[in-house]
């Protein structure tokens, strides 16, 4: 199998962490999640970082971590939903990896996020559905243009999605 990193990108609630862990286990690769790396390094949760330092500072910490994890090889990397906001993140990740976009429609994303908006600072608002809609319409093109491969996640099981990624990655030269 190709030893390029498998990098999962996509909006919040598209299953990047769950699918990344499953992929890493099956392929016997190291798993890295950029949000976990940031939390570990700063000994703070993502919510605490947003609260105490603001989104702009978080984006800088995120970029620093992306630069570091991009140097790894043969790794599965799950990323935060906002990494596409900075082209520099994409350039680094692509140097050693293939970028797989987990692409879901609004309904899938809303349904997946229903139980987990409170630990996502950007969605910690009563009208989080409008926020999802606004963020998605702003970011959609960025996700598409950043992806090497677009994986449709609608109505698919984790196993189906994982198998699809393994097949594509295994066929790469």
Can you give the binding site for ligand S3P, defined by CB under 6 A?
Answer: 12, 16, 35, 46, 80-82, 120-122
Smallest gap from residue 30 Cβ to ligand S3P (A): 18
**Given the complex with ligand S3P, which of 3 and 126 has the nearer CB atom?**
126
**Given the complex with ligand S3P, which of 16 and 29 has the nearer CB atom?**
16
Smallest gap from residue 135 Cβ to ligand S3P (A): 7
Smallest gap from residue 166 Cβ to ligand S3P (A): 21
**Given the complex with ligand S3P, which of 121 and 158 has the nearer CB atom?**
121
**Given the complex with ligand S3P, which of 45 and 74 has the nearer CB atom?**
45
Smallest gap from residue 130 Cβ to ligand S3P (A): 15
DSSP per-residue codes, the chain: ---SEEEEE-STTS-HHHHHHHHHHHHT-EEEEHHHHHHHHHTS-HHHHHHHHHHHHHHHHHHHHHHHHTT--SEEEE--TTGGG-HHHHHHHHHHEEEEEEE--HHHHHHHHTT-STT-GGG-STTHHHHHHHHHHHHHHHHHHH-SEEEE-TT--HHHHHHHHHHHHHT--
Token duo for residue 15: 């299953």
């Amino acid at each position: 199998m190709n030893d390029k990193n498998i990098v999962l990108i996509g909006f919040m609630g598209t299953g990047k962490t769950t699918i990344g862990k499953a992929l890493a286990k099956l392929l016997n690769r190291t798993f890295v999640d950029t949000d976990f790396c940031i939390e570990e390094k700063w000994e703070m949760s993502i919510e605490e970082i947003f609260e105490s330092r603001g989104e702009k500072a978080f984006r800088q910490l995120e970029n620093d971590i992306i630069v570091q994890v991009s140097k790894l090889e043969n790794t599965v990397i799950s990323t935060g939903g906002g990494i596409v906001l900075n082209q520099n993140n994409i350039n680094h990740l692509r140097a050693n990896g293939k970028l797989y976009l987990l692409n879901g429609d609004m309904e899938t994303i809303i349904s997946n996020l229903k139980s987990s908006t409170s630990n996502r600072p950007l969605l910690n608002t009563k009208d989080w559905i409008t926020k999802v809609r606004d963020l998605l319409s702003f970011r959609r093109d960025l996700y598409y243009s950043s992806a090497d491969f677009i994986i449709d996640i609608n109505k698919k099981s984790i196993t189906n999605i994982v198998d699809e990624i393994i097949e594509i990655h295994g066929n790469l030269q």
